[in-house]
Structure formats: C-alpha cells, structure tokens
Amino acid sequence: MEKTENIEITAISRRDFLKLSALIGAAAALGIKGSRVVDALEATQPTPQASSEKLVYTVCGVCSGGCAEIAHVKDDRLMYLTGNPDDQIARGRLCVKGYAGRQLLYDPDRLKYPMKRTNPEKGIDVDPKWVRISWDEALDIIAKKFNEVKEKYGPQAIIFLMRPNDFAARLANAIGTPNYITHMNTCYSTHAVVWKATVTGTDRPWSYDIENAKYILSFGWDGPGKAKNMQAQHFINAKTNGARIVVLDPRQSITASLANEWIPIKPGTDLAFALAMINVIVNEELYDKEYVSKYCNGFDKLKSFIQEYTPEWAEKITEVPASTIRKIAREFATTRPAIIPTHKRDAAGPNYANSWRLAHAIVILNALVGSIDRRGGYILPRSFAFPKFEEAFPAPPYPSKVKERIDGREKFPITDAANKGSFPTLVEGIISGKPYEVKAALVQKYNLLSFPNPKRALEALKKLEFIAVIDVLPFEMVQLADVVLPEHCYLEATSVVPRTYFALYPQVAIRQPVVKPLYDTKGFGAIIPELAKKMGLGNYFEGVSSTAWFEKQLSAVGYTFDQLKKSPNGLLGDPKPFVPKESFGTPSKKIELYSTVLEQYGYDPLPAWKPKRDLPSTEYPYYLIIYRPPQNIMTQTQNNPLLTEIWGENHALINTMTSKKLGIRDGEYIFVESRAGKIRVKAKVTGGIRPDCIAIDHGFGHWSKDTKNAYGRGSCDGDLIPVVTVDELLALKDPAMAAMMEDVCVKVYK
C-alpha cells in the first residue's frame, strides 16, 4: 500500500514539475496565471486493481494524434483503455473514439487471415468469393503480379496508395515507381505548403498551446467538435480561464456553441475577413512590433498589399458588418496571447479554391500577434533528432524513375519535396491513361469512400488489373482487392511514436501489443520486407526490420528500445524548459509574411483575394458544407456499434427557415444533389446553420456487406464532390493542389 502511494506521489510531483517548468517562462513574460481547472483530479498513474489485472502502456491509433494510453488487461483480455497521465498529449484522458477503440480489437468482422478473390468481377454488391490462403501464397501472388506488371508496362504502372511510411517508400523506390500516393490534398496540403514556404521549410506544426491563449479565433476550426482529445482539453482549459472565443463558421459547430461569439460567415469568404483583419491590425499599428521586426520579413510589402482590403470591402463579400470585423481585429491583436488554430479540414484546409490563401493569411495573423513558437500560440516541432531512414539503412542504388506521376504531383513543386499525393487527379490519371497506364496497386488502410466522388474512383480502380490491400477491416477498398493481407490492429502492433500533437519537449511513447494478436495477422513493418524479398528485391531490406529501425532511432538520441519497453510509464524524454525559437526554416530564417518561396515558384507571394470556385446558382442554390461528428474518424469507425449507437447515420442539416420554404420536415428523407451526384439522407432541421447552406456529416454510406454494422448507414457525402483534374488545378495556381472538397453547391428536394 505504501509503495503504491509512493508511486502516485512521484507521478504527481513529476507532473507538477512538468507543468511548472512549461509555464514558468511564459508566465513571467505574459502574466499567465498557470492553472488548469481540475488538473489535480485523477491525474495520477493508475495501479492494477487486482492481482490478475495488468497495465500495458501503448499508443492510441484511432487518429494521428498519438495519445499515449494504458490498456487494462485481465486474463489476456483487454478490459478498457485510459489516457496516460504523463503524456504531454493525452494528459490522462482519451477521446470517445479512443475509448471505443477496444471494440476494433474485438470486432467480429476483422480480417483474420490472407485471402484471394475468386470472382473476377468487381463492384458494389459483387461478392468477391474470398478464399483463405497462406501468407506465403498471398505474398507470392502479389510479388509475381507486380513483377509481371513491371516487366510488361514498366515500374511506374505499380502504384502505392497509403500514408507516408519509410518501409513502403523504400519498396516503391526499389521497384522504381514514382507513384507513392497519399491523401494529403484531401486533408491538409494547403496548411502544409503554406507553413513550409513561410515558416518551417518542412511541414506544418500540429501543436497548439491553446490553453494559454487569451483570445481564440476559429475559421471553421472545430477541434472540440471533433472531440480531438488534446485540442478539446486545451480549449476547455482556455475557456475556463476566461479566454475570449470567436468562431467564424457557416454552421454552428460545437466549438461555436461553446464560444462567446458565433459569426455565421458566408462559406469560402473567410479569406476576405482575414485580409480585412490584417488591414486593421497593420494600419492601426496593433501588431507586436518587437516580434515582427525581429522575426518577420516582408512587412512593408504586406502593408502596401493590404491597403485595398478594408473592412468595408470585406463586408460586401462576407456579409459580416465592417464594424464587427474591426472589433474582432482589434480584440485579436490586443488580447494576447491570441491564436487562430487551424487543423486539417477547417476553412483553410483543402476545401475551397482559395483555402491555401486563407492558410497564408492565418500564418500572417498569428505572426502579427507574435504567436508562432510562443506560449499561447503555435508550437513548432520539438522532437528527438532521429536519423533519417535512408541514412540509418543505406540502400543499394535505386533504379531510375520516370519523372511524371500518375497524379501529376510533380507539377506542384512545393508539395513535391515532401511525400504527398492527390486522390482526385490519381483517379483521372487512371481513367484517362495519361501520362501512362497504371495496372496494379498496393493499398494500405485507405478507404474508397474517402475519395472525392468515390463512384468515379471505383471506376478507376476497377480498371486496374490487380489490387493488393493491407487493412484491418473489410471496408470498400478491400472489396476491390485481388489479394487481402490482414494487418494487426493498432492494439496488437509495436512502434515508437514521437509526440507531435502537443509537445513542449522531445518525448516518445511506446506502442506495444496489449494482448497477443488474435488472428493470423502481421505488422506492416514485417509485410513490406517479405514482399520485397519475394519480388527479388530483398537486397534493399538487408538488416532492415521494425525492431532494427526502433533501435537505430532511439540509439541516435541515447536510448535503447529495451529502455522504452521497460519505462514505467511507457514514455521516454525528460521535461525541458520551453525555449522559444529565434530562427525559422525559410531562406531568410525569418517568418516570411511575403513569401519568397511562393514567389520563386510563380505563386502569389501574398494572399491576394480570390473567391471560391462554385457559387450558388439557380440550379444549385445552396452551399455544401461537410463536417465531422465527434464519434467518427473519417470512414474508419462506422463499424463500431459503441459509436454508431450515439451517431448512427448522417443527416443534411437545413436551416429552419429554409426547411419551411421547401416544405421539408425534420427527420424525413431528402435528396441532396450537386453537379457530381446525388445522395439520399434524412433532414435535420436546425437554427444552427446559415439559410443558404446544407451541411452533411462525413463517414457514412458504407456498402461493404462484410462490415455488417457500418453497412447501409447513411449516405456518402463524397458522392457530391466533383473530381478535379491536374489542368484545372494548374489553372488555379494553387501550390497545394487542393482537392476542393467542399467547393460545390447543391440543391435539395424530396
């Protein structure tokens, strides 16, 4: 008993130290009264409740947030999950989806062994007629087919469709295909490109010190409404500490409902609002003069550029009174620390033709109030200096590749440097056979329903001769596979996970199996080298394994993998005081308000006003908005009955006045139709949306009958999103090649 208490006391004091060390500098400079409301409550490490209960430290895999968690295991069965209190991200809690993650482990519909299809026909309602095969046979089939395609059509005819992964990237390089395609331009390419060009030289930051902000301005950012664990905790702590919160969103998001002020701005006009704010802040000299002069470049150019964008000008575009814009600009600039958080698919995500410009305006606004890499603002990455994979495991020379990619990404040079991709142009590339034919695909955990216009994506994928899919659940992409490789669920996998979604100092967490893998599955890091070997490319993977990679990463920073495995709280990395960065990753080493990188590649160096692409017309009179329910992540969680019991299908949100005009009653089925397609969903009548908007929540419309709980729930919002071509994107001069996932208008009828 005494021992237990000692452990708990250590945990508390360590956490208090962490809190203090993190806040001391900022508190002195900014007068922050460091406090989290109920922080002391239950902030200790749990102890096993019975001798049969075991605690396993691991990392959640529901989203990319990486919350460290604790699995409570009894008799080799996972009982429940809790957040790890010592983790900078999780702080002892998880989100609703994280808790429900247990259900994924025990989902009866999981892929349990490798399978091959025996029905050559593919499509909706077509039974693939699966046959169980061994791992050996499965990998043999894939290797043989890939080598055939490579021989006959060239290595570029093989595409990799998956998130960035070092092992897979090496295999793609060894094969010699340039077509490693990720989903970035349907997710966050706008933020990534702009932050890279203006601030970081690499990627965008994911860490926001929202809880220490005194003013939070959201351009559609809805972290709390997506139940993002760390963002929700920060937001609520800021709110409880009296921060002023203003939300611009055509829909009353959950963040908006918790805010001091909700401004239902016209969709796609946030850029005009932001420009007018810059105008006021610059002309009234409300910006942080010291920060701007010391750390920013291009202020004079910004000043002359911004003159035409007055609040009166913005009023005409946004329908927000000039006086309101002025008021918010003044409040934002004078209530510091102030932050405009942006995360993935908010107004600055790749939703509209002008979203990348908004992303730039948001960087400028945050910089003007000194909120980049300062407490209460954006926190740039503070991670361990792990070696690069290619340096840790030097490879034999790679074959040369054709330059052109099937998704046309090489025509967008700022995105090209990182490992990015484009879904819609991939689809058009496959269908048109330009610049060349592609024939085979290796897909990992990407769902067909995540594509804009999934029906067109289905046509494209049906054109391929061969698809191998690595996944956990038999969703729609699996239904198109010729061979299926079942992967461990994240609760059965092992990896080293850096802290990114909130990190004030370098820290890593261990992901490790909470129970023995339930089925005949493998980890991704084991599958790829085996496939390479079967393809005759084993020489690229000599000495390469997941474990070897973890060792290389950790040993480079003075740890061992064993040390991480034995860490009493599943974490490594001691708290360090926060030292604000003095230089940035741009050519001038300053934040480039006027971006020389964008200019160099022929893009607007300052975010000049441009409207969104589609505007309401007589035929399609309503703006379409897509949002995310708290209980679902993308198209991945709808087979989880714990979550669908709370949010079981999607709806079309329609304003009360609009519903009366159209004679639509709450709960009745309506059609929503765009120039791309139409869907049937139930109407939900609400006062919490603009009368000229229809909002649909994402993630539903699954048609795979093998995911029994997800099947037939709601409709797919993607059916409404038109596919965009490389030429259209080039004409828009958008460096982020944004897929414009919401830039479309709709009609609604019964």
Partner 1 sequence: MTNWKFLFDSDICIGCAACEVACKIENEVPLGRRRREVVTVEKGEYPNVEKYFASMACMHCATPPCLTACPAKAISKREDGLVLVDKDKCIGCGYCAWACPYGAPQLGTSGETGKLGTMDKCTFCVQRIDRGEKPACVTACTTKALIAGDASELETIKRERAARKLISIT
Query: Which positions touch partner 1 (CB under 8 A)?
Result: 35, 37-38, 41-42, 49, 79-80, 82, 93-96, 99-100, 102, 224-225, 227, 229, 232-233, 236, 239-243, 252, 254, 257-258, 262, 264, 630-631, 641-643, 645-646, 655-657, 686-691
DSSP character string of 41-88: TT-S----SSTTEEEEEEE--SSTT--EEEEEEETTEEEEEEE-TT-T
User: Which of residues 72 and 382 has its CB atom nearest to partner 1 in the complex?
Assistant: 72
Supply the minimum distance, in Å, between the C-beta of residue 628 and partner 1.
12
What single DSSP character describes residue 337?
Answer: S
Measured from the CB atom, the residue of 381 and 691 that comes closer to partner 1 is: 691
Shortest distance, position 646 Cβ to partner 1, whole Å: 5
Q: Please say which residue, 262 or 559, places its beta carbon nearer to partner 1.
A: 262
Q: Which distant-in-sequence residues (6+ apart) come within 8 Å of 110 by Cβ?
A: 104, 472, 473, 486, 489, 518, 519
Q: Which is nearer to partner 1, 5 or 300 (CB)?
A: 5
d(CA 289, CA 625): 38
Task: Give min distance, CB of 198 to partner 1, in A.
Answer: 31
Q: How far is the CB of 309 from partner 1 (least distance, A)?
A: 25
CA distance 729 to 732: 5
| Tokens 């409902």 found at | 257
Nearer to partner 1, 231 or 447 (CB): 231
Closest to 47 measured CA to CA, from 88, 3, 14, 96: 3
DSSP notation for 551-591: HHHHHTTT--HHHHHH-TTSEE---------S--SSTTSSE
Q: Give the three-class secondary structure for 237.
A: helix
- Say which residue the tokens 């009548």 belong to: 685
Report residue 63 as tokens.
């989203």
Q: Which of 235/352 has CB closer to partner 1?
A: 235
CB of 87 to partner 1, least distance (A): 14
Q: What is the dihedral of CA 328, 331, 335, 339, to 10 degrees?
A: 10
Name the residue among 400, 693, 438, 497 with its Cα closest to residue 63: 497
Query: Which CB sits closer to partner 1, 183 or 698?
Result: 698
Residue 239 or 326: the one with the smaller Cβ distance to partner 1 is 239
Phi and psi dihedrals of 112, rounded to 5?
A: -110, -20
Least distance CB 129 / partner 1 (angstroms) = 31
Between 259 and 723, name the residue whose CB sits nearer to partner 1.
Answer: 259
* Nearest-approach distance from CB 508 to partner 1, in angstroms: 23
| Residues ≥6 apart with Cβ < 8 Å to 580 | 373, 374, 375
Query: Minimum CB separation from partner 1 for residue 611, in Å?
Result: 23
Least CB distance to partner 1 at residue 489 (A) = 16
Tokens 């934040």 belong to residue = 591
Asked if 297 and 593 touch (Cβ cutoff 8 Å), the reply is yes
